[in-house]
A and B are shown apart, each in its own frame.
Chain A
Amino acid sequence: MNSSNNVERQTKTVTPNSSTYSLTINGKRHTLTLDNRTTLLDALREHLQLTGSKKGCDHGQCGACTVSINGERVNACLTLAVMHQGDEITTIEGVGDVEHMDPMQQAFIDNDAFQCGYCTPGQICSAKATLDEIRAGIPSHVTQELNGPIELSDAEIRERMSGNLCRCGAYANILKAIHQVAKEQATEERS
């Protein structure tokens, strides 16, 4: 991209319908001036070229765009970037890279928990959040016992992961990957 084009694009997008705001993505602060209609997902993918978060449906129905905003998982296609002034966002690029993979990323490889790979970043972000939510005692639709720690059952994981669709059908392997990480975390906590 040459600089004259950059300038041209920027002047075009600064209009009464655009805003300037700052958000922190994977620990780095970014200031953006974008059309107010820009979703967080398109801000990430198109303007910051962080394409790890995927656009599967743009309707909040598939979960491929799942990111973490201030520690909670959110469908990035269902929220406008302009709503996130000052927010801390973690995308798959912040979870780990090829040289420094998160244990959940490694567990997905170990258990072949993906095929085409398109839903995978969203699955991994959701999988990490699922374990965090269970540990934090946040109940789900299938939680039987509301007093006391939530059991890390297959049903509990499947329920919490059901907003992340996988048409290749890797669900059985994703469940194994999540259990692998949960086991590793439990071992670490004990030691």
Chain B
Amino acid sequence: MDFNQSADENLFDHARIIGKPHTRVDGALKVTGTAPYAYERHNVAENPLVGYPLGSSIAKGRITRMDATAARSAEGVAAVITALDIDELPRADSNVAKLFGGEWVEHYHQAIAVVIADTLEQARAATRLIEVEYEEIPGEFDLDDAWKRLQDRDVVSHVGDVDAAFDSAEFTLDETYHTASHSHAMMEPHATIADWCDGKNMTLWTSNQMIEWTRQALATTFELDADNIRLESPYIGGGFGGKLWLRADAVLAALGSRETGRPVKVALPRPFIFNNATHRSGTVQRLRIAANKDGRITAFDHSAISHTLPGGSGEDAVNQTRCFYAGENRRVAHHAIDMNLPESADMRAPGEATGLAVLEIAMDEMAEKLGMDPVEFRILNDTQVNPEEPSKRYSDRHFVECLQKGAETFGWAARNTTPGGKREGQWLIGQGMAGAYRGSPTLDSGARVRLSEGRLIVETDMTDIGTGSYTIIAQTAAETMGLEMRDVDVRLGNSAYPSASGSGGQMGAASSTAGVYAACVALQGEITKRLGVESARFENGQVVSGDKSVALRDVAQGEELVGEDSLHFGDFKDELEIGTFGAHFVEVAVNAYTGETRLRRMLSVCDAGRILNPITARSQVLGGMTMSIGAALTESLNVDTARGFFPNHDLAGYEIAVHADIPDMEVIFLDTQDGASTPLKAKGVGELGICGGAAAVANAMYNATGIRLRDYPLTLDRMLDRLPGA
């Protein structure tokens, strides 16, 4: 099905099931511990061996010697494969660091060996017996140093005359900010069971957000025909971008299986999530804003630096500054500096999460300089077109309504506007807000639907990483076919099924439901053909054409009818800016003596097209808000700038938000529909919640204390010397 123009009024505007609250269809499996995650598939591969990885203990250099003699003869060990045993494996385009093989080390904890044994205990113990000698090469690991010596700017785009605008502006801001590196820290470590016993056909039971990308990456890595590779990933214990790509667990399990002729399973030990897998790069950002005294912004100038392994792209923190607010003159620059830290790559809202964490503090600072309310300042500088390219309009943008609805619901008008001016005992009370923006891309998506005896089975390689895909896909199919939720079974995450968008970039829900809709329409065509009618309505389990009505159960008379199609998104979308918008409001209490910061409440108002299921969408936004609180207050992959690694590589040292950190939270969805996005008029919402949330916390802390923090995480040591105490 081609989607070549904005959707007009259609069945989703009169929906029975889409847009209504439905609890998760996979809920019972998850609360009883019976949803099968990758490492737990005891029934798929007979008698598997266990692989345990060894990571490099240097950041950059060459392995000069490896001796695995003792490991190979250790109890229970079936095989040891070292990096020196095989040539460097070819890298898929999506992998920056090599995943295994060869003498060169590019980052700390890069996999350099795997031990395959009968049990985990045996494999783990034997890795300690491998002797490794290195020739270390000095590397660069200090982002601030790189930022300081930066001379030329890698300008991404420049519209108007920024320098002239700053020269003539009545108000200007020029500040520098830091964001820390972050780990996805999903609860399920990367894990794979591999069966490549015959060295020809490879089957992986794995935990991966993108089935088809990863199948192709495996084909490149192992120089196989992709048709000989099968992947299953029906349940994924969180991803957040960390499981977009082929990673070492799958590669080591596959190598082990080929070597031993037995299925092999590998889970990355938790420390490997931080230094072997990918992370979000920290940034240094300089932001300049120019405005006239009426509050209108005349120029933005935003430059940022992030780290990457050679060949990667780092964390582009400046991109949203090109289009979020109005302003005639704008310049952004992004420097991706080569460093031999572990691979930086996409994490939830790559770019926007770190860019808005800074831009939205700067907007707060600018509003203060102008003596304006920060909500009013943002409303004044709203735009309905891409300010770099004014002929390109936003398809559907309700940012102002988000701000107004949020301010009204939160009670913004009653807030104390004097920073440090409100105190309850030893607590300084503050309120702050921030804007949120995230693009809403779509990817062509396919699905197959099978109707048999009145039951509908949906098959697509789309994944559910906790996002609610199973549920919204069941809703889409039931709605389109005139069935009830209980009549639909959804099967996901299998390379045997038609390829869909996968879960990433906030595009999964909108794209994959459009693909399922296309497949259902194809099935409707099969049904009308079978009945010999031109057209029909599908309602209440019946096919209705004229005065003729047949139960769907009886249409195929015992046979199975199949519909398969993909939704192809047309070029007309390139002429539009399609995005999602939001506003966050936060109240904090900061201890006047210790600087301990406690959130009291947080509200987010979201404009994200049609909300397919308010229960699962709300949870997505709550999750983003929660992650933004962690980013604001505690999360930091600290860098050992001498040795080049993240030393706080566990869940005690890398502090994600816990129950006690999270206050009352509220989410409001504006009732919008964006016909330019998909036939369902839906957009993504999975990443919007993390965009801007950290800045809302920072701004609330400023309002509480009068101390402006520009370096994340906003820990108490950064303000202890300036707190009022008594």
A21 at interface, CB cutoff 8 A: no
Q: Shortest beta-carbon distance, A77 to chain B, in Å? A: 10
When distances are taken between beta carbons in the complex, the residues of chain B under 8 Å from A13 are: 118-119
Contact partners of B40 in chain A: CB under 8 A = 45, 51
Chain A's closest residue to B27 (CB) is: A109
A104 to chain B, nearest CB (A): 8
Tell me which of A53, A118, A162 contacts B237 (CB under 8 A): A118
In the complex, the answer to whether B466 meets A117 with C-beta atoms within 8 Å is: yes
Output the least CB separation between B453 and chain A (Å): 23
Chain B 179-222 interface 0/1 with A at a Cβ cutoff of 8 Å (1 = within): 00000111111000000000000000000000000000000000
Given known A-B contacts A55-B267, A167-B240, A168-B238, A116 and B626 have beta carbons under 8 A apart = no
Q: In the complex, which range does the number of interface residues on chain B fall in? A: 35 or more
Cβ of A35 and Cβ of B665 under 8 Å apart?
no
Report how many residues on chain A are interfacial, defined by Cβ distance under 8 Å.
Answer: 68
Q: Is the CB of B32 within 8 A of A98?
A: yes
- Specify which chain A residues have a CB less than 8 angstroms from the CB of B47 in the assembled complex: 1-2, 5, 9
Describe A's contact surface by its main secondary structure.
loop
Say whether A49 contacts B42, CB under 8 Å: yes
Are A115 and B466 CB-contacts (below 8 A) given A5-B47, A59-B650, A162-B658?
Answer: yes
Whether A101 lies near B32 (C-beta < 8 A) is yes
State A114–B36 Cα separation when bound (angstroms): 16
Q: Which of A42, A64, A157, A170: most chain B CB closer than 10 A?
A: A170
B-side interface residues toward A, CB under 8 Å?
23-24, 26-37, 39-40, 42, 46-47, 75-76, 118-122, 125, 184-189, 235-240, 267, 269-270, 465-468, 615-616, 618-620, 622-627, 650-652, 656-660, 662, 664-665
A58: chain B residues within 8 A (beta carbon): 269-270
| A112 touching B33, Cβ below 8 Å | no
List 7 tightest A-B contacts by C-beta distance, closest first: A52-B33, A169-B626, A118-B237, A116-B466, A115-B466, A117-B30, A169-B623
Name the CB-closest residue of A to B269. Answer: A58
A110 contacts across to B, CB distance below 8 A: 23
Q: Tell me if A38 counts as interface (CB < 8 A to partner B).
A: yes
Contact B186 A167 (CB under 8 A): yes
Whether A158 touches B466, Cβ cut-off 8 Å, given contacts A59-B652, A169-B625, is no
Complex interface: chain B residues within 8 A of A37 (CB):
121, 125
CB distance from B686 to the nearest CB of A (A): 10
Q: Once the chains are docked, how many angstroms separate the CA of A127 from the CA of B237?
A: 20
Q: Point out the residues of chain A lying under 8 angstroms from B616, CB to CB.
A: 112, 115
**Does A51 contact B23, Cβ atoms closer than 8 Å?**
no
- Let me know if A51 and B33 touch, CB within 8 A: yes
Q: Is the CB of B270 within 8 A of A121?
A: no
Q: Which residue of B lies closest to A46 (CB)?
A: B120
- Rounded to whole angstroms, the CA-CA distance of A28 and B26 in the bound complex is 28
Q: List 16 A-B contacts (CB under 8 A).
A: A1-B47, A35-B122, A51-B36, A52-B32, A54-B187, A55-B189, A56-B237, A58-B270, A109-B23, A114-B466, A115-B468, A162-B658, A163-B658, A167-B184, A171-B657, A171-B658
Does A181 count as interface, using CB distance less than 8 angstroms?
Answer: no
* Residues from chain A with Cβ under 8 Å of B35 in the complex: 117
Cβ contact within 8 Å between A35 and B658: no
Query: Could you say which residues of chain A place their CB within 8 Å of the CB of B188?
Result: 54, 56, 116, 118
Partner of B652, one of A61, A105, A124: A61
- Asked whether A93 lies within 8 Å of B236 as measured between CB atoms, the reply is no
Q: Say whether A97 faces chain B, with CB atoms less than 8 Å apart.
A: yes
* Nearest B-chain residue to A47, judged by Cβ: B119
The answer to whether A90 has its CB under 8 Å from any CB of chain B is no
A68 at the interface (CB under 8 A from B): no
B238 touches A167 (CB 8 A): yes
A83 contacts chain B at the CB level, 8 A cutoff: no
Query: With an 8 A cutoff between CB atoms, is A174 at the interface?
Result: yes
* Structural contact, B32 and A92, CB atoms closer than 8 A: yes
Which residues of A sit under 8 angstroms from B119, Cβ to Cβ? 13, 35, 38, 46
Q: What distance in Å separates the Cβ of A167 from its nearest Cβ neighbour in chain B?
A: 5
Chain B neighbourhood of A52, CB < 8 A: 32-34
Per-residue B-contact encoding for A57-91, CB less than 8 Å = 1, 0 else: 11101101000000000000000000000000001
- Of B27, B33, B662, the residue contacting A91 (CB under 8 A) is B33
- CB <8 Å contact, B618 and A165: no
Partner of A168, one of B34, B122, B466, B660: B466
CB contacts (< 8 Å) of B34 on chain A: these are: 52, 93, 97-98
| Cβ A168 vs Cβ B619 within 8 A | yes
A119 touches B187 (CB 8 A): yes
A180 at the interface (CB under 8 A from B): no
Query: Do residues A112 and B23 form an inter-chain contact, with CB atoms below 8 A?
Result: yes
**Residue of A with least CB distance to B42:** A49
Q: Which partner residue on chain B sits nearest A52 by CB separation?
A: B33
Asked if residues A116 and B465 are in contact (CB atoms below 8 Å), the reply is: yes
Contact A173-B619, Cβ < 8 Å, known A35-B122, A109-B28: yes
A68 to chain B, nearest CB (A): 14
Instruction: Given A15-B75, A58-B270, decide whether A165 and B656 contact each other with a Cβ distance below 8 A.
Output: yes
Given contacts A55-B39, A108-B31, A112-B615, 13 further A-B contacts (CB under 8 A): A12-B75, A45-B40, A54-B37, A56-B188, A57-B650, A58-B270, A115-B467, A120-B33, A159-B660, A168-B238, A169-B627, A169-B662, A172-B662
Verify B623–A115 contact, CB threshold 8 A: yes
A149 in contact (CB, < 8 A): no
Q: Is A161 an interface residue (CB 8 A)?
A: yes
Query: Contact: A164 with B659, CB < 8 Å?
Result: yes
Decide: B120 and A115 in contact? CB cutoff 8 A: no
Is A169's CB under 8 angstroms from B30's CB? no
Which residue from chain B places its CB closest to the CB of A175 in the assembled complex?
Answer: B659
The answer to whether A116 and B270 have CB atoms under 8 Å apart is no
User: Is the Cβ of B187 less than 8 Å from the Cβ of A167?
Assistant: yes
Contact B662 A114 (CB under 8 A): no
> Cβ of B652: which chain A residues have Cβ within 8 Å of it?
59, 61
Given contacts A54-B237, A110-B23, A172-B665, whether A158 and B187 have CB atoms under 8 Å apart is no
Task: Report B-chain residues with C-beta under 8 Å of the C-beta of A35.
Answer: 119, 121-122
Chain A proximity of B274: nearest CB distance (Å): 11
Is A137 an interface residue when CB atoms closer than 8 A count as contact? Answer: no
Docked pose: A9 CA to B616 CA in angstroms:
44
Complex: chain A residue closest to B686, CB-CB:
A115
Residues of B within 8 A of A25 (CB): none
- In angstroms, how far is the closest chain A Cβ from the Cβ of B393? 34
Complex formed: what's the CA distance from A97 to B35 in Å? Answer: 12
Q: Are A98 and B29 in contact (CB under 8 A)?
A: yes
Task: Give CA–CA (A96, B267) in the complex, Å.
Answer: 27
Closest residue of A by beta carbon distance from B689: A169
Cβ–Cβ contact B626 & A118, under 8 A: no
Question: B187 near A101 (CB under 8 angstroms)?
Answer: no
Compute how far the CA of A77 lies from the CA of B240 in the bound complex, rounded to whole angstroms.
25
